[in-house]
A and B are shown apart, each in its own frame.
Chain A
Amino acid sequence: MKKSAGAVNRSSTKKGTPPSATAPSEGWYEKLYYMLLGSIPFSLILIDRALRVVSANRNFLEKARRSEVNTIGAPIREVFPSAILEFTRLEVKVRGVFDTGLPLHGAQMTYRAPGIPTRIYYYTVVPVKSGNVVEHAMLVMDDITEKVQLSKKARMIERHLASVVESANDLVVSTDAEGRIVSWNTAAERISGYRADEVRGQLLGELCASAQRDDLTAIIRRLAKGNAVKFQELNLAARSGRLVPVDWSCSPIRDDSGKVSGVVAVGRDLSERRAFEERLYQSEKLAALGVMAGGIAHELRNPLSVGFSAAQFLQAPSRDPAFQQECVGKILDGIQRASTIIENLLRFARPAPSNQVESVNLVALARETAGLLAPRTKLEKVKVREDYENASVLISGNASLLQQVLMNLILNACQAMPTGGDIVIAVRREAAEAVVCVSDTGCGIPTSHLSKVFDPFFTTQPVGKGTGLGLSICYTIVKQHGGVIEVDSEEGRGSTLTVRLPLADIRGEG
């Protein structure tokens, strides 16, 4: 066995006659041995009892950047760098294998030598026996450098991702395919008041407001089936009992085979935004009231004026009791009219909590809003036609916010018609939707502006005339109600704004 692996390799490239299956020639097994030695992806060294290298395969020579000449026959003390020998106590270990006849398993060796890149090996020492005597020891070194580096990298990425999730301001929750919580980040702990160890294993749906539990469970079930799910706003029931509005965006986690193994839910806490929106709605409402004030003043002064005149007629002596009755009637009518105007105004001006959800009849709401704006539309020489197919179109929502939408749409239509025109307000049912249209015969919207009309602060009105928030607030309120708002316009002909809202449950229709 004085041949080197390289020499054997060379002989193996000869195209000799293939060995017969029954009687392989004398040197055939040896050839096979060296061929295997030369081609396997391990570094192999055969060591004799004097701890000298008997043979080394090509893999070892290449990795260690050594030649056969200075390796074969050399003591392992000269073949391996002394630092490695000391650290691994390789000589002691090899000697142990010769003494005990037992293989040595599983140890790691970092091979650093001048001029070559550091490699990490997993090595074993196997006794090679002849009868009961261990004649040689085979050192098998598996290069695990890439594996170690990959797992290091994987751990780094894992830590990086974990810190992203932990430092996120949004709730980041993962569940198994049944919706049981697997991970719960710091933001989720802060917002919900529940620690990760308290909720792990619980159904995420159980942490929702009781009325919406089934919604989230259904979302997770749809995701688990691999169906797409759009964002959904659901309230999270915090430990304090507070309901936190959360905008959830869920996506499935798939395993290597593509099967859904869980769900990631990222949730944004909308509390602050809701509070801000409420303030914004209120200030926009007050701005709308300012716009309406002129019309309201005019509308109030007419009945006041009639009543005032009638009272003055009554002051003068009159012998006609029928005329006196007429005067009293005018006074009573005037007071009634004035107080109706004030009542509507107050009802609109009152701030309403935006989370209050009730059954709302859109037809009644449209009627009331048209009535409230009648003084304004009349002043602007705008004729309003109301077109209601049904007496009642019920949706579930917030009446005060929805009225604000109608109000803004009608006021916008008025603004588009500075010299007067027609407005049609229509409410109807279409499949599972309630549809509200407000059309005008005004100036229309240039095509280039169509995409911007719902942007906050977009306005074509001069400074001080419009805030540019009206339609963007409509958009937000409609979206909050699970609906859509669309604009259709032709320059010079007029515009139609259409709001589509999901109809209330049929059971609620009465």
Chain B
Amino acid sequence: MAESLTALVVDDEPDVCWALETLLLGDRFTVVTVGSGTEALRWLKESEPACHLILIDAKLSDIEGVDLARRIRTETSCVAPLILVSGYFYKDDSLVQETLRTGLVSAFVAKPFRHDEILNAIHAVLSTGQGSTHLVSSPW
């Protein structure tokens, strides 16, 4: 990775943003964090940034994570792979399975997560591009 990649973290829990930001910064990402789906859409629309990866919390206070994923694809030009991060859903929930099957999201990570596993998932998603599915289940 010669150039730094940009990751967008969408989570309404500031401490979760802190953890993901710290982790990704350590992996030489440039990190942008937002606390809601509305802010995420605004950032993606207004600045049309070079965004390489988006981590979305499944339960945001304004928009459901899966709905946000859909709106990113329909309302913005962003094609960066999406990873759903959630403490609410399980990897075998039908909603999660469905979004992975259709390729709307590239990976699902359950909270709490091991750092090596989420980083592996991120790298795998970035190296294979869109369409590949990755599951990171919680260690418990």
Residue positions of A touching B, CB distance < 8 A:
294, 297-298, 300-310, 312-313, 330, 333-334, 378-379, 381
Query: Which residues from B are CB-within-8-Å of A310?
Result: 19
Query: Are A305 and B112 in contact (CB-based, < 8 A)?
Result: yes
> Knowing that A303-B15, A330-B15, A334-B15 are A-B contacts, what are 5 other residue pairs whose CB atoms are under 8 Å apart, sorted by A's residue number?
A294-B88, A302-B111, A305-B87, A307-B112, A309-B22
Can you show 24 pairs from A to B with CB atoms below 8 A apart? Answer: A297-B87, A298-B59, A298-B86, A298-B88, A301-B112, A302-B16, A304-B111, A305-B19, A305-B111, A305-B113, A306-B16, A306-B19, A308-B113, A309-B19, A309-B20, A309-B22, A309-B113, A310-B19, A312-B114, A313-B22, A313-B23, A330-B15, A333-B15, A378-B61
**In the bound complex, how far is the Cα of B88 from the Cα of A302, in angstroms?**
9
**In the bound complex, how far is the Cα of B114 from the Cα of A305, in angstroms?**
9
Chain B residues 59-102 with CB under 8 Å of chain A are 59, 61-62, 86-88
**In the bound complex, how far is the Cα of B18 from the Cα of A132, in angstroms?**
134
Q: Is B115 an interface residue (CB 8 A)?
A: yes
Interface string of B96-140 (1 = CB under 8 A from A): 000000000000000111110000000000000000000000100
Q: Which residue of B lies closest to A334 (CB)?
A: B15
Query: Are A309 and B13 in contact (CB-based, < 8 A)?
Result: no
Min distance, Cβ A369 to any Cβ of chain B, angstroms: 20
A/B pair count, beta carbons within 8 Å: 59
Q: Which residue of A lies closest to B87 (CB)?
A: A301
Interface size class of B (residues with CB under 8 A): 20 to 34
Residue positions of B touching A, CB distance < 8 A:
13, 15-16, 18-20, 22-23, 59, 61-62, 86-88, 111-115, 138
A298-B59, A305-B113, A378-B61 known; A330-B18 Cβ under 8 A: yes
**In the bound complex, how far is the Cα of B63 from the Cα of A381, in angstroms?**
8
Min distance, Cβ B26 to any Cβ of chain A, angstroms: 8
Q: Which residue of B lies closest to A330 (CB)?
A: B15
A298-B88, A301-B87, A313-B22 known; A306-B61 Cβ under 8 A: no
Q: Which residue of B lies closest to A378 (CB)?
A: B61
Q: Which residue of B lies closest to A310 (CB)?
A: B19
Query: Which residues from B are CB-within-8-Å of A381?
Result: 61-62
**In the bound complex, how far is the Cα of B18 from the Cα of A302, in angstroms?**
12
Query: Which residues from A are CB-within-8-Å of B113?
Result: 305, 308-309
Query: Which residues from A are CB-within-8-Å of B13?
Result: 302, 306
**In the bound complex, how far is the Cα of B90 from the Cα of A468, in angstroms?**
29
Q: Which residue of A lies closest to B114 (CB)?
A: A312
**In the bound complex, how far is the Cα of B59 from the Cα of A381, in angstroms?**
9
Query: Which residues from A are CB-within-8-Å of B19?
Result: 305-306, 309-310, 330
Q: Which residue of B lies closest to A303 (CB)?
A: B15
Q: Which residue of A lies closest to B64 (CB)?
A: A381
Query: Are A379 and B88 in contact (CB-based, < 8 A)?
Result: yes
Min distance, Cβ A205 to any Cβ of chain B, angstroms: 58
Min distance, Cβ B83 to any Cβ of chain A, angstroms: 14
Min distance, Cβ B67 to any Cβ of chain A, angstroms: 11
Query: Which residues from A are CB-within-8-Å of B138?
Result: 301
**In the bound complex, how far is the Cα of B86 from the Cα of A310, in angstroms?**
18
Query: Which residues from A are CB-within-8-Å of B87?
Result: 297-298, 300-302, 304-305
